[in-house]
Chains A and B, each alone.
Chain A
């Protein structure tokens, strides 16, 4: 049977940010089933729709560019298929592109986030400057094998932009992502809150880019 790999790019926002990664897999399988696209099923006693997510997204974070790989058993028109898939997605998930996969999961090196820290924006900005002037920033990180571990995240934080807005500080930050070293945006936000001693009124995080080692956008 012919098997053609397809990479879907989608956004996740609104109420959909509360869908966990595990639940997202089930949600996507059902969406693909509803779409009626000629999807490829894993072979074996209990066939199911094959899915691969190159990079998981944490609960509570929205994203402009998420990726999901599946396969089809015949050539499809990407734009028509995208429309069809998008039309069966639940509220908050929207399929923006279908493409032939170029990169591999292991190529993913970093991700960019736009974060909003709500409260007294000026003070938050100063606290950020203070934190970034420190030599080390200890942060707690969940590790699959070792449980909670403390790591120094300072060398891995790249602040790309900051902007003091009325009731919040807007921040663009790049953090390592992928198999080799992954620093979750929540880990950064928690560390910021702990180091600064500020209990933010609210924190909004959106993933905006997933990048390869080469610096080019993952696709």
Chain B
């Protein structure tokens, strides 16, 4: 038992309750009475991972099956990791406190590119070889899923199989298959061969990649009889009837999103051209307001949370949103539960919505115009006008708000200096709008914060062909933006670290050869790369040099329409023809109507057994 050893070091670390489990609603079973043990790993800290909805869903779903036991594992913070290594405590799961190297499966959810080194570090902490080829028969099968798995190629050295798309059905199919084969004493290789037959399962070792002389991918070809040329993502057809947890594990320490969360829809109709989630989660599927209400009620009752949030890529696009909010607030108001609504579009912002938000003590409002001019907003298909932005701000100011946060991207395709200056001008107009309001709070000034992320082109978006803007160019545009702001006291500008964005671009669009770079970076000490206090760009640069690979090749190269992408064998139903069409329209600043208005022919239509919206 590791329990005693763990308890002995816990008082020496920050927030020890993160490392000992025992939280309300966590599931403890008898390990001798289950067929399959699954260590669900989130490759980031407890506070971040415990906020993640996908993990909560799959955790409960697997544990609902009597013969499966799914436990939670997070990346220990620096202080805890040091003590674990010092005291020879291997990475353990929070429910049983058993070492995860004894489990049947180790599964990672991969939410962003900058957690890749944490995956290696967690495998190493578990006492396992990080590379799949070095792990033996008696070691767990290491699997991974999540949005980054739409291009998992940089991770293929470390993972035995990937799960593409939505996990509710395929995870159980995989575990059932495993349970049966385990009883028959099959080998891991035999299991992988059978698993490859399941839709949504990608076994990377069953494919060979060849390269052209210029370094681009020539072909990705199956080398195993069970491997199909294309691997399709999984889709849950009926969101209304699919399993949803009745309870969440309630942490003791504060986490990033410390509240009940009800997913109200999946997919997005908007088709913003920069947004990977908007394409890889298609098609749109909604829950009924009855389901949303009953799931809210059961989650709140079982957790005691005083806040519930309606979650999706774009909650205002829920067709029953008005009806749902009326019904829900009857319950939440009565129980003194706050209802929070992230991901609402600017064009849906209203007085009523604002009153609701004010009730949860939010200090300011956040809107995402994404680009500074109408032309550029048309390029990215944001489909929001300046009038709509101004209208939303006017409502906010008249409602007593004195601060607004605006999200923009910099380095978008076709971006010119005019677009950068447009960001400043838009912010200035909002400042002026505040002072035009005769009823503004006495003696209070307005505060506009402009947050600029660097645009990162992602696979399965119309911008996958686009290069990322160079460091020099981003630097110049940042200075231009700063210089264009007149109301320096009222407008505060901030941006993301470019050196993080470039690594994100490289890993997002990378190929198999990057496995060596990730390995070298981790070996040299990289971990928690998404945390600024840990990020060490210079180590990554060295890792690229050592592997003889060039970051520029991955990030700055414009890709032609006929280039074989490293992820081309993965099928997210989004056709290359559609992406090319959308890319061409983007360059002409032409918008595409949302899916409810008109089908854009992306390739997903028909997957549900008909058109997504009953027409076209």
For B97, give the chain A residue with the smallest CB separation: A15
* Residue contact B11 to A60, C-beta cutoff 8 Å: yes
B20 at the interface (CB under 8 A from A): yes
A26-63 interface bits toward B, Cβ cutoff 8 Å, 1 = contact, 0 = none: 11011111100000010000111000000000011000
Q: Is the CB of A92 within 8 A of B22?
A: yes
Cβ-based interface call for A128 (8 A): no
A15 contacts across to B, CB distance below 8 A? 20-22
Q: Which of A16, A19, A31 contacts B304 (CB 8 A)?
A: A31
B51 within 8 A of A: no
Q: A20-B17, A33-B306, A92-B22 are in contact. Are A26 and B254 (CB under 8 A)?
A: yes
Contacts of A41 in B (CB 8 A): 336
Q: Bound state CA distance, A118 and B276, in angstroms?
A: 57
Complex contacts, B361 vs chain A, CB 8 Å: 46
Do residues A88 and B252 form an inter-chain contact, with CB atoms below 8 A?
Answer: no
CA A60 – CA B303 in complex, angstroms?
Answer: 25
Return A21 CB to nearest CB of chain B, in Å: 11
Chain B interface, >50% SS class: loop
A184 to B21, CA, bound (A): 26
B8 at the interface (CB under 8 A from A): yes
Question: How many angstroms between the C-alpha atoms of A35 and B212 in the bound complex?
Answer: 65
* In the assembled complex, B473 has its CB within 8 A of some CB on chain A: no
Contact of B24 among A18, A23, A46, A90 (CB under 8 A): A90
Chain A residues near B24 (CB, 8 Å)?
30, 90-91
Smallest CB–CB gap between B503 and chain A, Å? 35
Q: Is the CB of A91 within 8 A of B250?
A: no
Number of interface residues of A (CB under 8 A): 27
From A14, A18, A30, A202, give the contact of B250 (CB < 8 A).
A30
Smallest CB-CB separation from A186: which chain B residue?
A: B11
Which of chain B's residues 342-363 have a Cβ closer than 8 Å to chain A? Answer: 359, 361
CB-based nearest A residue for B253:
A23
Alpha-carbon distance A33/B305, docked complex (angstroms): 8
Instruction: Give Cα A61 to B11, complex, Å.
Output: 10
A214 to chain B, nearest CB (A): 34
Q: How far is the CA of A29 from the CA of B361 in the complex (A)?
A: 19
B16 interface residue (CB < 8 Å to A): yes
- Contact, CB under 8 Å: B305 / A14: no
Contact of B303 among A34, A48, A59 (CB under 8 A): A34
B8 & A19 in contact (Cβ 8 Å cutoff): no
Q: State whether A18 touches B17 (Cβ < 8 A).
A: yes
Distance to closest chain A CB from B47 (angstroms): 12
Contact in complex: B17, A19 (CB < 8 Å): yes
- CB neighbours (8 Å) of A18 from chain B are 10, 16-17, 19-20, 252
In contact, B252 and A202 (Cβ under 8 angstroms) = no
Rounded to whole angstroms, the CA-CA distance of A16 and B24 in the bound complex is: 11
- In the assembled complex, the CB of A110 is this many whole angstroms from the nearest CB of chain B, namely 24
Complex Cα gap A88–B24 (Å) = 9
B residues within 8 A CB of A47? 336
Asked if B8 and A202 make an inter-chain contact with CB atoms under 8 angstroms apart, the answer reads yes
B284-307 contact mask (Cβ, 8 Å, vs A): 1 or 0: 000000000000000001111110
B23 at the interface (CB under 8 A from A): yes
With most chain A CB atoms within 10 A of its CB, the pick from B10, B17, B302, B305 is B17
Bound-state Cα–Cα, A16 to B22, Å: 8
A159–B302 alpha-carbon span in the complex (Å): 45
B305: chain A residues at CB < 8 Å are 30, 33
Taken together as a complex, chains A and B put the C-alpha atoms of A16 and B20 apart, in Å, by 9
Question: In the bound complex, what is the Cα–Cα distance between A30 and B252 (angstroms)?
Answer: 10
**B211 CB to closest chain A CB, in angstroms?**
51
Question: B17: which A residues are within 8 A, CB to CB?
Answer: 18-20, 23
In the complex, A47 Cα to B302 Cα: how many Å?
Answer: 21
Q: How far apart sit A41 and B337, CA to CA, in the bound complex (Å)?
A: 12
The minimal Cβ–Cβ distance linking A197 to chain B, given in whole angstroms, is 20
- B16-65 contacts to A, CB under 8 A, are 16-17, 19-24
Q: Is the CB of A29 within 8 A of B306?
A: yes
B252 touches A19 (CB 8 A): yes
A90 to B303 CA separation, bound complex (whole angstroms): 11
- The answer to whether A14 and B22 have CB atoms under 8 Å apart is yes
In the complex formed, the residue of B with least CB distance to A33 is B304
Q: How far is the CA of A218 from the CA of B170 in the complex (A)?
A: 57
In angstroms, how far is the closest chain B Cβ from the Cβ of A29? 7
Per-residue CB contact flags for chain B residues 233-251 toward chain A (1 = under 8 Å, else 0) read: 0000000000000000010
Are B304 and A32 in contact (CB-based, < 8 A)? Answer: yes
Question: With A16-B22, A59-B16, A92-B22 known to touch, is A48 a contact of B306 (CB < 8 Å)?
Answer: yes
A156 and B21 CA atoms in complex are apart in Å by 37
Distance in Å: Cβ of B301 to nearest Cβ of chain A: 7
- Chain B residues within 8 Å of A, Cβ to Cβ: 8, 10-11, 15-17, 19-24, 250, 252-254, 301-306, 336, 359, 361
Show 12 A/B contacts (Cβ-Cβ < 8 Å), sorted by A. A16-B22, A20-B15, A20-B253, A23-B253, A26-B254, A29-B306, A32-B304, A34-B304, A60-B10, A60-B11, A90-B250, A90-B252
Mark A residues whose CB is within 8 Å of B: 14-16, 18-20, 23-24, 26-27, 29-34, 41, 46-48, 59-60, 88, 90-92, 202
- Known: A23-B254, A48-B306; 7 extra A-B contacts, CB below 8 A, are A18-B20, A26-B254, A30-B250, A30-B306, A32-B304, A33-B305, A34-B303
